């Protein structure tokens, strides 16, 4: 049953924190300009996430809340038949809220609550070959980050925050009877003819974890038109503790006469592995622990106010995914072998370009484009994370409804490069993953 | 350093170009067959059948014989993705390399193969999602949709190929667009070749039962909603070189076949003479002598034991005229059912009567020997080893040779092209 356990968590770490499925859209204003905020964060407190230095000199009290609705479309087209299976992702809301309070004209404190990792991949269990790697993965991480920003001088701002992370992880997959070893033998049931893709168990892993990370940044006003800035989110470790539950599924297979197992005609195949689900069996329910190291990441960018109404800006976004190469999984059940996985991710590079145009004193228009490279190596593109390089396009608008109340709208289109991937960890890449998404953001900022 | 208004657009442009440099590099689907089917009709071709379709030859089966099956050749010509449940070399069971010595394929380092040797199924590194050639040796019509019935002919290969599914269930997994069905031979073959009573009519599936089962099978196939298919009729099992006419034995014994002779201790009763010679009671041209029985008589005679071949009704091992008529009548009735199932009024599928080609082959003594080529004992004579029953049949005298599979595939190709206006290229 080792292979089953290996499959259980294969790829999960990537999903938890991959750039591809990470959610950078933590504010509607910033989303409209492709998330470019390192040198010129939106003046609504979202700098807590994008660059804590942005809080320095931010006056008054500000409360901002918003939500990004993510509608993802994806599919896998297998090489064998050219048959396409579509993702069944629901429309996923990702909320964020920030509150800031100016303690002095130079010092501002705030707290932000946001969910940078909150996506879900959901594939059908019927006929999708990848269900044995994972058919439903749900990760919800909430960051609660107290932050202070200080304006050191008219040209320099610094900020720092400490995020407490609480994370929930749910993984679901099926187990394929044909890949199980015949008891006492060195070959699998496939060698005896059990068809490929015979579901016999459903596994559900639920775990929670927590950790801390530090988010700090700085901004420099080079001239009245040019500013530069950057932030760095430190490496963090999330320790997950949870349970794994195994449920036997009827295969519907009945052995005919003269079968190579030597069993009587009419024997249900299910009976051959029923004992594995009992106490002490390799598929007995039990606890599980794992730790995932979130790599450090940061941005470096500039903003250039070309005219009084027009600002252009760009960020370079770097995530040190190369550090994310190994994950250890410890099953409490001694019959289930512990695992060490090697995702072997690569560092990612993101290039974000945004602009904002003040159409009128009460209306701002925004637009942007970004590209970032893939974290997952070619040999580890899975149903859990069919991730790849992406091009993204954004538009947005801000409207001052009253002197205190400001509203933002944003739209983002994600087009991921088509990428070959696997649905069977022992078989290499056997098909093509395609992915795109439409994101709709709405937010409001209240100043008092 | 003072940043100027021109440096920032330049820096931004540089970043943009860097981004666009790797922006749109799409991978593609990589179909293992490198080319798409010659017609959408063959997007997913599935074959249903028995030993012939499975690729059984020389009383055995392994990956190499499986890949010689007519259905594999046809699928290749269609450019259809086609997955075969290959058996590891030397097979399950390994085929004969010499039928007279009962020697079976034994690769170096393997223990001597026997009739009970059985090696495992090949597990490819990238397991295909289903099996395209669902055919199982020994299958009768009933087995196609029910291999748990007491009347089922399930065997070891049923599990190796289908793993607890029926052929219909496995075919369903493939969501076939095109289906070929060649089933029914075993509903009559077992009666003909019975080792205790050749031509045992009690073993023939009654025509009415056959029709009921065939209808049930086709109803199950209809549920898969294939876009087309071809049904192949039951072969006239009395034409295979497993049988020699009693009259052939009589002719050899009486010196009427140049270059052929029996030992003096081998007698052939005059009731084995052809009816045309007008010997009272002669029935040799409507009596079939199974190869194992005739070979056993000849072996005994060669050892000096006096033996007599009689074509009398009292000899259970031979197929006597009444039994022969029953066998042929069953085949005729079966094929009426099968052709009706394919007819335009039913499904509008293609129908192939294999007996047209089989009769043509049988008329050519190089293709189907009227009498087996027994070992002559002279060095260098390999005919008995390679093709004792003719070029058209393998070493078990029942299953077609690779050459006949090619002929079948091409015949089917032409029939399918004519029926569906497709353009399957010739079989290489």
- Whether the per-residue pLDDT at B310 is higher than 90: the answer is yes
Measuring CA to CA, which residue among A280, A319, A276 is closest to residue A298?
A319
Which of B23, B29, B154 is closest, CB to CB, to A77?
B29
- Whether the per-residue pLDDT at A305 is higher than 90: the answer is yes
- Whether the per-residue pLDDT at B275 is higher than 80: the answer is yes
What are the angstrom distances between the C-alpha of B424 and each of B41, B53, B72, B73, B427? 11, 19, 13, 11, 9
What's residue A137's pLDDT? 86
A418/B28 Cβ within 8 A: yes
A430/B159 Cβ within 8 A: no
A351 CB-contact burial (10 Å; exposed 0-12 / middle 13-18 / buried 19+) = buried
What's residue A326's pLDDT? 77
Half-sphere exposure of B147 (CA within 13 A, CB side): 32
**A147/A159 Cα distance (integer angstroms):** 7
**A236/B38 Cα distance (integer angstroms):** 55
**A364/A372 Cα distance (integer angstroms):** 26
In chain B, what residues touch A192 (CB-CB under 8 Å)?
Answer: 120-121, 159-160, 163
What's residue A21's pLDDT? 54
- Whether the per-residue pLDDT at B140 is higher than 80: the answer is yes
Strand partners, A142: A166
Which of A260, A302, A432 is closest, CB to CB, to B160?
A260
B160/A193 Cβ within 8 A: yes
**A84/A82 Cα distance (integer angstroms):** 6
pLDDT tier at A300 (50, 70, 90 boundaries)? Answer: very high
Q: Is the backbone peptide bond immediately before A199 cis, with ω within 30 degrees of 0?
A: no
Please give, one letter per residue, the 3-state secondary structure of B167-218: HHHHHHHCCCCEEEEECCCHHHHHHHHCCCCCCCHHHCCCHHHHHHHHHHHH
Q: Which residue of B lies nearest to A186 if distances are taken between CA atoms?
A: B120
Q: What is the pLDDT of residues A397-443, one digit of tens each?
A: 999 999 999 999 999 999 999 999 999 877 788 899 999 999 999 99
Q: Are B230 and B240 in contact (CB under 8 A)?
A: no
In chain A, what residues touch B156 (CB-CB under 8 Å)?
Answer: 258-260
**A405/A400 Cα distance (integer angstroms):** 6
Characterize the bridge pairing of strands B103-104 and B96-98: antiparallel
**From the CB of residue B221, how many other CB atoms can be counted at a distance below 10 Å?**
25
| Token output for B284 | 């040799």
Work out the average pLDDT over A12-24: 46
Work out the average pLDDT over B258-265: 92
- Whether the per-residue pLDDT at A312 is higher than 60: the answer is yes
pLDDT tier at B190 (50, 70, 90 boundaries)? Answer: very high
DSSP character at residue A188: B
Work out the average pLDDT over B265-276: 96
Say whether residue B19 is in contact with chain A using an 8 A CB cutoff. Answer: yes
Say whether residue A254 is in contact with chain B using an 8 A CB cutoff. Answer: yes
* Choice among B5-14, B168-177, B265-274 with the minimum mean pLDDT: B5-14
- Whether the per-residue pLDDT at B278 is higher than 90: the answer is no
In chain A, what residues touch B128 (CB-CB under 8 Å)?
Answer: 80, 196
Interior CA angle at B194 toward B188 and B196, to 5°?
Answer: 150
Q: Are B78 and B424 in contact (CB under 8 A)?
A: yes
Q: Report chain B's mean pLDDT, rounded to a whole number.
A: 92
pLDDT tier at A78 (50, 70, 90 boundaries)? Answer: confident
pLDDT tier at B20 (50, 70, 90 boundaries)? Answer: low
In chain A, what residues touch B18 (CB-CB under 8 Å)?
Answer: 351
Work out the average pLDDT over B221-236: 97
Q: Are B265 and B301 in contact (CB under 8 A)?
A: yes
Percent of chain A, pLDDT > 90? 63
| Token output for A216 | 């700090």
In chain B, what residues touch A256 (CB-CB under 8 Å)?
Answer: 147-148, 152, 154, 158-159, 164
Residue B337 backbone dihedrals phi, psi, to 5 degrees: -65, -45
What's residue A9's pLDDT? 34
* Choice among A101-105, A337-341, A408-412, B324-328 with the minimum mean pLDDT: A337-341
Q: Are A125 and A132 in contact (CB under 8 A)?
A: no
In chain B, what residues touch A221 (CB-CB under 8 Å)?
Answer: none
- Whether the per-residue pLDDT at B376 is higher than 90: the answer is no
Q: Read out DSSP for B2-33?
A: PPPTTHHHHHHHHHHHHHHHTS--------TT
**B355/A389 Cα distance (integer angstroms):** 60
What's residue B7's pLDDT? 52
To test the contact with chain B by mutation, choose from A33, A182, A195 the residue with the greatest count of B C-beta atoms within 10 A, namely A195
Question: Helices B321-342 and B186-193 sit at what angle, rounded to 10 degrees?
Answer: 170
CA distance A44 to chain B (A): 26
pLDDT tier at A340 (50, 70, 90 boundaries)? Answer: confident
**A401/B31 Cα distance (integer angstroms):** 56
Q: What is the pLDDT of residues B22-38, one digit of tens each?
A: 566 777 766 555 568 99
What's residue A8's pLDDT? 38
pLDDT tier at A113 (50, 70, 90 boundaries)? Answer: very high
Say whether residue B159 is in contact with chain A using an 8 A CB cutoff. Answer: yes
| 3-class DSSP assignment, residue A407 | strand
B25/A417 Cβ within 8 A: yes
**From the CB of residue B403, how many other CB atoms can be counted at a distance below 10 Å?**
16
Say whether residue A391 is in contact with chain B using an 8 A CB cutoff. Answer: yes
Choice between B19 and A60, residue whose per-residue pLDDT is larger: A60
pLDDT tier at A90 (50, 70, 90 boundaries)? Answer: confident
Choice between A260 and A314, residue whose per-residue pLDDT is larger: A314
Q: What is the pLDDT of residues B344-362, one digit of tens each?
A: 898 999 999 999 999 999 9
- Whether the per-residue pLDDT at A110 is higher than 60: the answer is yes
In chain A, what residues touch B132 (CB-CB under 8 Å)?
Answer: none
B162/A314 Cβ within 8 A: no
Measuring CA to CA, which residue among B198, B297, B283, B197 is closest to residue B240?
B198
Say whether residue B344 is in contact with chain A using an 8 A CB cutoff. Answer: no
In chain B, what residues touch A180 (CB-CB under 8 Å)?
Answer: none
Say whether residue A411 is in contact with chain B using an 8 A CB cutoff. Answer: no
- Whether the per-residue pLDDT at A14 is higher than 70: the answer is no
Work out the average pLDDT over B327-353: 96
- Whether the per-residue pLDDT at B203 is higher than 60: the answer is yes
Q: Are A60 and A125 in contact (CB under 8 A)?
A: no
A258/B154 Cβ within 8 A: yes
- Whether the per-residue pLDDT at B247 is higher than 80: the answer is yes
> Which secondary structure element, helix H or strand E, spans residue A313, and what is its range?
strand A310-319
Q: Count of A–B CB contacts within 8 Å?
A: 168
A226/B8 Cβ within 8 A: yes
- Whether the per-residue pLDDT at A124 is higher than 60: the answer is yes
What's residue A447's pLDDT? 95
Work out the average pLDDT over B52-72: 98
Q: Are B400 and B64 in contact (CB under 8 A)?
A: no
In chain B, what residues touch A318 (CB-CB under 8 Å)?
Answer: none
pTM: 0.83
Measuring CA to CA, which residue among A300, A393, A312, A426 is closest to residue A358?
A312
CA distance A167 to chain B (A): 32
What's residue A362's pLDDT? 96
What's residue A2's pLDDT? 40
| Token output for A352 | 């974000």
Interface of A with B in 2-61 (CB under 8 A): none
Say whether residue A300 is in contact with chain B using an 8 A CB cutoff. Answer: no
Q: Which residue of B lies nearest to A389 if distances are taken between CA atoms?
A: B23
Place of tokens 């003479």: B273
Q: Report chain A's mean pLDDT, rounded to a whole number.
A: 89
Say whether residue B164 is in contact with chain A using an 8 A CB cutoff. Answer: yes
- Whether the per-residue pLDDT at A16 is higher than 70: the answer is no
* Choice among A293-297, A309-313, B242-246 with the minimum mean pLDDT: A293-297
What's residue B11's pLDDT? 52
In chain B, what residues touch A188 (CB-CB under 8 Å)?
Answer: 123
- Whether the per-residue pLDDT at A119 is higher than 70: the answer is no
Interface of A with B in 343-362 (CB under 8 A): 351, 353
Q: Are A190 and B120 in contact (CB under 8 A)?
A: no
A391/B3 Cβ within 8 A: no
Reported ipTM: the value is: 0.86
Q: What is the pLDDT of residues A349-360, one digit of tens each?
A: 999 999 999 999
Work out the average pLDDT over A282-295: 86
Q: Are B154 and A256 in contact (CB under 8 A)?
A: yes
Which of B22, B127, B170 is closest, CB to CB, to A190?
B127
Q: Which residue of B lies nearest to A316 if distances are taken between CA atoms?
A: B15
State the distance between the two ends of chain A, measured CA to CA, in whole angstroms: 61
* Choice among A138-142, B152-156, B294-298 with the minimum mean pLDDT: A138-142
Which of A82, A261, A304 is closest, CB to CB, to B8?
A304
> Which secondary structure element, helix H or strand E, spans residue A141, and what is its range?
strand A136-153
Interface of A with B in 192-211 (CB under 8 A): 192-198
Work out the average pLDDT over A382-395: 90
- Whether the per-residue pLDDT at B12 is higher than 60: the answer is no
Interface of B with A in 115-154 (CB under 8 A): 118, 120-121, 123, 125-131, 147-148, 152, 154
Choice between B193 and A325, residue whose per-residue pLDDT is larger: B193
In chain B, what residues touch A198 (CB-CB under 8 Å)?
Answer: 163
pLDDT tier at A139 (50, 70, 90 boundaries)? Answer: confident
Choice between B184 and A330, residue whose per-residue pLDDT is larger: B184
CA distance B310 to chain A (A): 37
Say whether residue B29 is in contact with chain A using an 8 A CB cutoff. Answer: yes
Residue A317 backbone dihedrals phi, psi, to 5 degrees: -120, 125
Q: Which residue of A lies nearest to B129 if distances are taken between CA atoms?
A: A196
Interior CA angle at A12 toward A9 and A15, to 5°?
Answer: 165
């Amino acid at each position: 049953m080792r292979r089953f356990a290996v499959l259980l968590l294969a790829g999960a770490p990537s999903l938890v924190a991959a750039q591809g499925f990470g959610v950078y859209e933590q504010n509607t204003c910033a989303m409209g300009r492709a998330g470019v905020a390192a040198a010129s964060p939106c003046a609504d407190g979202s700098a807590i996430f994008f660059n804590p230095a942005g809080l320095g000199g931010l006056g008054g009290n500000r409360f901002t809340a918003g939500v990004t609705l993510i509608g993802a479309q994806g599919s896998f087209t297998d090489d064998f038949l050219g048959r396409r299976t579509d993702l069944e992702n629901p429309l996923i809301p990702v909320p964020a809220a920030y509150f800031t309070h100016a303690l002095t004209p130079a010092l501002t404190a705030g707290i932000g609550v946001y969910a940078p990792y909150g996506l879900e991949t959901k594939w059908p269990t019927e006929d999708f070959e990848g269900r044995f790697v994972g058919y439903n993965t749900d990760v919800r991480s909430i960051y609660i980050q107290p932050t202070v920003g200080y304006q050191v001088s008219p040209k320099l701002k610094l900020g720092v925050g400490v995020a407490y992370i609480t994370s929930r992880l749910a993984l679901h997959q099926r187990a394929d009877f044909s890949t199980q070893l015949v008891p006492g033998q060195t070959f699998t049931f496939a060698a005896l003819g059990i068809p490929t893709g015979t579901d016999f168990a459903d596994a559900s892993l639920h775990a929670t974890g927590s950790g801390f990370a530090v988010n700090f940044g700085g901004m420099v006003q080079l001239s009245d038109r040019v500013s530069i800035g950057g932030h760095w989110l430190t490496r963090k470790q999330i320790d997950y503790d949870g349970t794994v539950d195994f449920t036997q599924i009827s295969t519907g297979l009945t052995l005919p006469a003269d079968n190579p197992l030597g069993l009587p005609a009419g024997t249900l195949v299910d009976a051959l592995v029923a004992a594995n689900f009992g106490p002490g069996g390799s598929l007995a329910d039990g606890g599980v622990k794992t730790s995932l190291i979130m790599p450090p990441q940061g941005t470096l960018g500039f903003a250039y106010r070309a005219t009084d109404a027009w600002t252009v800006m760009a960020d370079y976004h770097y995530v040190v995914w190369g550090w994310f190469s190994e994950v250890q999984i410890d099953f409490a059940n001694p019959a289930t072998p512990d695992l060490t996985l090697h995702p072997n991710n690569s560092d990612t590079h993101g290039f974000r370009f945004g602009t904002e145009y003040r159409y009128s004193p009460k209306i701002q228009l925004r637009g942007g484009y970004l590209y970032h490279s893939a974290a997952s190596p070619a040999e580890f593109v899975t149903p859990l994370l069919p991730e790849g390089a992406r091009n993204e396009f954004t538009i947005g608008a801000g409207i001052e409804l009253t002197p205190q109340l400001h509203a933002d709208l944003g739209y983002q289109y994600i087009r991921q490069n088509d990428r070959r991937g696997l649905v069977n960890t022992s078989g290499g890449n056997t098909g093509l993953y395609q992915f795109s998404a439409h994101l709709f953001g709405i937010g409001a900022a209240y100043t008092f | 350093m003072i940043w100027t208004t021109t440096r920032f657009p330049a820096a931004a442009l540089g970043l943009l170009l860097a981004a666009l440099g790797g922006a749109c590099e799409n991978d593609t689907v990589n179909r293992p067959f490198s080319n798409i089917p010659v017609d959408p009709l063959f997007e997913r071709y599935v074959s249903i059948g028995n030993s012939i379709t499975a690729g059984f030859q020389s009383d055995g089966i392994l990956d190499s014989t499986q890949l010689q099956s007519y259905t594999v050749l046809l699928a290749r010509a269609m450019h259809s993705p086609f997955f075969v449940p290959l058996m590891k070399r030397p097979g399950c069971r390994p085929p004969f390399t010499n039928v007279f010595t009962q020697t079976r394929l034994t690769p170096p380092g393997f223990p001597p193969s026997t009739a009970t040797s059985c090696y495992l199924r090949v597990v490819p590194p990238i397991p295909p999602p289903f099996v395209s050639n669902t055919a199982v040796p020994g299958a009768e019509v009933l087995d196609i949709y029910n291999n748990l019935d007491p009347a089922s002919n399930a065997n070891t290969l049923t599990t190796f190929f289908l793993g607890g599914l029926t052929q219909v269930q496995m075919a369903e997994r493939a969501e076939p667009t095109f289906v070929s069905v060649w089933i029914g031979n075993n509903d009559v073959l077992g009666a003909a070749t019975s080792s205790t009573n050749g031509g045992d009519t009690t073993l023939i599936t009654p025509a009415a039962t056959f029709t009921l089962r065939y209808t049930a099978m086709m109803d199950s196939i209809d549920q898969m909603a294939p876009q087309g298919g071809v049904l192949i009729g039951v072969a006239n099992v009395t034409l295979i070189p497993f049988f020699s006419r009693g009259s052939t034995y009589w002719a050899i014994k009486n010196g009427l076949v140049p270059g052929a002779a029996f030992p003096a201790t081998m007698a052939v009763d005059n009731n084995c003479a052809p009816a045309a010679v007008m010997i009272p009671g002669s029935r040799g041209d409507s009596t079939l002598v199974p190869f194992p029985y005739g070979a056993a008589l000849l072996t005994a005679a060669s050892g000096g034991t006096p033996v007599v071949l009689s074509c009398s009704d009292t000899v259970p091992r031979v197929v006597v005229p009444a039994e022969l008529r029953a066998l042929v009548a069953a085949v005729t009735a079966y094929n009426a059912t099968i052709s009706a199932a394919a007819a335009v009024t039913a499904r509008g599928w293609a129908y192939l009567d294999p007996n047209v080609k089989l009769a043509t082959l049988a008329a050519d003594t190089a293709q189907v020997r009227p009498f087996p080529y027994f070992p002559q004992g002279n060095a260098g004579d390999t005919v008995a080893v390679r093709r004792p029953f003719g070029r058209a049949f393998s070493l078990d005298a029942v299953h077609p040779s690779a050459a006949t599979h090619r002929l079948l595939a091409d015949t089917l190709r032409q029939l399918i092209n004519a029926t569906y206006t497709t353009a399957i290229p010739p079989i290489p």
